[in-house]
Structures are given as structure tokens and as C-alpha cells.
Amino acid sequence: MKALFLAAALAATPQPARTPASSTPAAEATSSTAQSFFVARLGHDAIVRMFAPGVPALSRDEKRVAWHLSLAAHAGEEIGYDQLGWDAVALKRLLESVYLFGREGHAEPGSFDAKLADYLARFYGQTGNHEQTTGQKFVPDFTPAELEAAAVRALKAGAPLGVKDEAALKAWLGGLKPSLFDADFEPQLTSKAPPPGKDLLTASANTAYGRGVTLKDLEGFQEKNPLNSRVVKVDGKLVEQVFRAGTPDGKVPRGLYAEELSRVSAHLREAAKSAPKDQKAALEKLVRYFETGDLKDWDAYNIAWLKANPMVDANIGFIETYVDARGQKGQWGALINYRDARENRVMELIARRAQEFENRMPWPDAYKRKKVATPVAKAINLVTSYPGPPAGINLPNEQHIREKYGSKSVLVSNVMEAAAAMKRLPLAIEFSRTPEEAAKARQYSVTARKWLVAFHEVLGHASGQVDPKLEGGPSRYLKEYDNTLEEARADLVALWHAFDPSLAALSPEHERIAEQMYRDYLVEGLTNLNQVPEGDAFEEDHQRGHHMAVNFLMEKGSVTQVTEGGGEGKPGRTSWVVVDYGKMRAAVGELLSKLMVIKATGDYEGIRKLVQEKGIRFDPKLRDEVVARVRAVEVPADVLLISPRLVPVVDGKGQVVDVKVRHDQGFIEQHLERSVLGRLTPAEATRVAARLAATPEALAEEYRKLPRQPLSP
């Protein structure tokens, strides 16, 4: 999807050692608010709780829909892991089994149990053993020998490992050793700058393409299902493995992920039973798509989804293309949510005036939409998320559907609240140049962020008209640079409209909020360096687009870099400063127009040149300064979010009569519970969840009952 992402992840237990709240000025600014979200530290990250206060007010049918959609999300999670590494599912099940059945019983710092818990928490948080932001691989602190001893203990204790005896277990562990312990084996999840002798595909650890498939192999190969397939070599020939469950009549055969998609569809059918009429129609079309894998069925679902606007909604499917270096293959995603009426004002205003905003875009009239379909725009709260939750969403991604039917745009309230308290506001204060700017950040930064996300999603991704000659949409032409362009363009749309007089209806201080949005955009660009502690290059699309834009603004003289203090071996304090707000807005408009023309015409060389020259390389000395400052004020590098826990209440017939929401679940327990529920039928999953205490002992008992499937990739 085209989403404004936050670093993700859900909860941990035994929890990593708690770190006291910082007493630094930046942290003190939000300490009372932050403490309500903070759970624990995990290295330089923070585990943070996400709340869903509106669940009790949902109707019985809405609660049933939320419950069964959440089960559908869980049922597809291992698809997502499999897409991020050839051994990721095997490693996940191994680590889970060892955690439940093979620990030593000593959890003090430095013990095997403590190192296992930390690594498993991080593995869950990053959906595998590569950092989601940098794409860089991380390895555990425990040794292969320690893991082997624990795996043997787990096997003897009845863990459902898919091996027949201890010898087979050790042989299997040996095969997984490079994936788990060798940082130089498949080191980069998605490689946009491959090393000599490799290309974008062979240097990437994800599984979008079979091992050994190169860019040259794909020349002239036409994919029928570019979004939901894996291209592999079979007997030297390219074969497209489509993600599909197959139809009940057998006319469409089973494909890749058939077992998982069949379970997903079973849960969707249960959700449809309690859904309103228009949502039921959409869910039925989604089931059809998962059966056939046909992109025409995906289009039919998206059109039906756009027409529905239920209280409880979902985004489920192969949606985002960030992980694929070519920007074509969709990654499994599932976001289950309900509407949050508290935060709707800005979304509704932008949606209502979408045509006016489109008419005032800075790009040529030929690429402006003449008839903007009023977007569905709302604020939501998430109850379930895979992978990590975004701050905002605009879907569908398909350009031809956007232009004809419009889009849905959402601001994710409970994610933004946690992120603002723990990270964004403290950073805005720490990287303010003056005490006066810090005071303004305290007053305006949270609102400015919400406005930026609203514009980014409602208008940014949904705006503009492309040349009808671009068959298949811009991504086919812009290739690996499409996502970078699109994220930069959406942010610039927000900056371009930030000073629009119509925003006075939201706040009499709208101009001060707009100025804060500009300053915070520069703070975010500077602190993105904290996300890449090694090397001197950005790989992630959002960060590349942001860096490209800031460098363009600096070249135009509207932004400057200022370093103050320092000397005698001490680093100074660097800031990126707005020289003049009017001048910066003009430069924003110039780059925004340039990007829209590139998108509209499919100008691959144009975007390649911009990104290569302005979006990738950074000064590692500046990065080191930023990292030191962020750590000094104890602002987490990533905010790892714990989802609310939904607990069904069932009657004597096993029917869901209510759904409770709890906010006390730990990280590892949450993921273990999902691992169990995701591999059960709807009736089994509901029955287990209704009585499950979600303690390690109870989870171990349920996990033990799972099928002993072979753990080989």
C-alpha cells in the first residue's frame, strides 16, 4: 500500500529489562503521557502499548466482524514471514519451540533464556531477522551450541518440531545455521545498491523471486500476476507461482500459499456473516480473489471495498511492494480497525475540498484530475496489524481504480498517539534550534503531524492524472524508484497545502501549525539518520524520498544546515533550518511538479537521476552526531507497538456473543497466541481464544497440539 509507515512490532515476555523514564528535557516534555504507553526497552528501541478504547462501544455484529477479521490476519502471518526470508518460517517455529519447551529456567541478564527472549522479541518485532527500516540482518547473542542444546531439550519435551529424532534435528539445525548466525549470509533484505557481481534481485534476501533469478532473466518475461506471484526457475525456465487457494470446483488449481489462504478465506466467510450488506459483498469478492489469484478479482474487490464504509474495516491482501527491489510484488498485509470519530475533522475537510486542492496543485494542468471522486477519509484505531502499523493509509494502490473510483484514506489515531508521545515530540524538541522553537514544538508538533499525515494520505497518493499511454500504470515504468517517488510526492503535497487558508476552519493558529510542519519535516529528515547506524546510504523508500527532497530544498537555498557549539573535540549541534517559509514552499512546489511530471510520463531516467544524486548517500559523521544526540535523550530508535488483545466471549453453542479488549498482554505471548490461532479453523480458534489464559504454560499446551509439519523451507 502507499502508507506512511512507523517502525512496527508488538509485545514481549519475559520482557526485556525495563529502563527508567529519562529525566532529560526532551523526555520531561512528555513524560506523563509517555509513561502511559511505555512498557520496556529492547536495546535502543522501546516497546509501547497501543490502546483501543472504542471496542466496548461496538455493536455485537461489529465485534464479531472485528474478531473474525483479526483471525484472518493471524492466518496469513506466516505468508508474510515466508516472503521475507527463505528460512524465516522455519526459524520462527524453531525459536517458538525452544522458547516454550527448551529454556534452562534461568532468566538473569546474560543467560541463554534472556538472550533468547531478547532475540525472539526482536525477530517478532522486525518480522524476521532483517531490520524493517534498514533491511540489515541481525544475529543472536546466543551460540549455535546453546541453541542446539535447547532444541534437543524442546524435542524431548514434546515440541511439535517436524523431525523424527535427535540426529535429524541436528542435521536440520546445521542447514539453518547460516541463516540465523552468519551476518554476511543474505545480509540485506532488499538491496537497491547491490555489491559487485550481484543485481537487485540476487543481492536481496527476500523471496519475491526464486534463488538465482536475475534482472537479466526477467528481460522480455511478461508476468501475468506481477502483484501476487513469485517468479522461479524450473528446469532452467521461468515459472510464475501464483498465490492462490484454488477454487472449490478445481477449475483453478491450488497455488503457492494455498493452505494459508484457505484458512484466511474461512475466517473471512465467518466475518461476512455478521457484516453489513456492502461489506459482505466486498469480503465475498476478496475470498474469490484468494481462490483464483486473478487480478481482475482483486480489482473487483477493491471497487466493492471503496463502496463500503463500515464501522469495522480491514485491509487484507498482497498490498505493499516496498520489499521487492523492482517494486512489483505485493507483501502480505492485514490491518483491522474501527472508526475513531474524535479525529475526523481534518480528514473530512480535506476530503470535502479535494477537487479544490487538486486544482491548486503546482504541476501542469494536463496532469490534474478534472473530476476528483470524493475520497473516503476517516480516522481509525487499529486492533490488529501485520506487519507493523502505519500512521496513515491510502488505498487501493492501483492507479486505474484511483482515477475512476477514488480511494480510502485513513489516519491511524492510536498509532500516532503512541508514536508522538514516545518519539516524535521528544525529537522535535531535542532538534529544535532555539528554546523558542522548542516551545513551539511542544504546542504545535502533534497537530502538525496529524495534518501532514492527513494530506499525505487523502490527497498525496490520490492526486494527479497520468498519461493514458502508460499501460499498466507508472510503477511498470518507474520500476525500483516508483515507491521512492510516490512517498516523496505525498509528503510534498502536504507541505504544499500546509498554508492553505481553508485550514483556518480547523484552528486559528493554522499558519503556526504549518510552520511547525515544515520544521518537523526537516527534523524527521535529519533524525532518519539515526535509523541507519552503519554505512552511508539509505535503502528504504520513504527515507530515500525524504533525503532527496531535503537535498533539493538545500540546493534551492530555502533550507540550510547550521552547526553550533562544539570545539575542543566535542561535536556541535547540527540543525536543518528553514531560511524562509515562502521560499521553501516555492521549492516544494518546484520539486512536486517535477515528480508529478516524471510519474505521469513514466520517466525512469528522470527519477533515477534524482534519487541517485540526492536520495541515497549521507555524511556518516553527521549520522554519528544524530545517533549520539538521540541516545543521550533516550528517545527510542524505533517504537515497537503492542496491539490490543481481543478475547471472544462465546455461548454454549460456541457462538461469539461479545468481544472483550485487554491491554495487558506481553510481546512474546501475543505473537505465540497468534501463531496458535492462525493455524486453526474459525471454530477451533474461537474456542481456544475464549478459554486461553495466554500464559506461557497455557500457550505451550496449545502449541504442543499443532501439527508436526516439517520445518524445512
Domain map (residue ranges) of the chain: 86-129+139-182+644-704, 340-640
pLDDT beneath 50, residues of the chain: 1-32, 711-713
DSSP-assigned letter for residue 423: I
State residue 36's pLDDT score: 87
Cell of 28: 520531561
Per-residue pLDDT tens digits for 627-642 = 999 999 888 888 888 8
188-203 burial: b if 16+ Cβ within 10 Å, else e: bbbbbebeeeebbbbb
State residue 5's pLDDT score: 39
Query: Percent helix, strand and coil across the chain, each rounded to 5?
Result: 50, 15, 35
SS3 label, residue 538: coil
State residue 10's pLDDT score: 29
Strand-pairing partners, residue 274, are: none
The Cα angle at residue 415 between residues 413 and 417, in degrees rounded to 5: 70
The helix (H) or strand (E) run that includes residue 313 is strand 312-320
Q: What are phi and psi of 704, to 5 degrees?
A: -60, -30
State residue 33's pLDDT score: 66
Are 95 and 120 within 8 A, CB to CB? yes
Distance CA 251, CA 166 (A): 43
Q: What are phi and psi of 626, to 5 degrees?
A: -65, -45
Nearest by Cα to 223 from 475, 465, 584: 475
State residue 323's pLDDT score: 94
Distance CA 310, CA 307 (A): 10
Distance CA 411, CA 414 (A): 9
Distance CA 87, CA 53 (A): 38
CA dist 559 → 235, 429, 434, 581 (Å): 55, 19, 16, 9
CB atoms within 10 A of CB 624: 13
CA dist 561 → 338, 464, 576, 600 (Å): 42, 32, 5, 33
SS3 label, residue 310: coil
Strand-pairing partners, residue 647, are: 660
Start-to-end CA span in the chain (Å): 27
The helix (H) or strand (E) run that includes residue 543 is helix 541-555
Annotate 586-645 with DSSP letters as a single string. HHHHHHHHHHHHHHHHT-HHHHHHHHHHHTSB--HHHHHHHHHHHHHTT--SSEEEEPPE
State residue 442's pLDDT score: 94
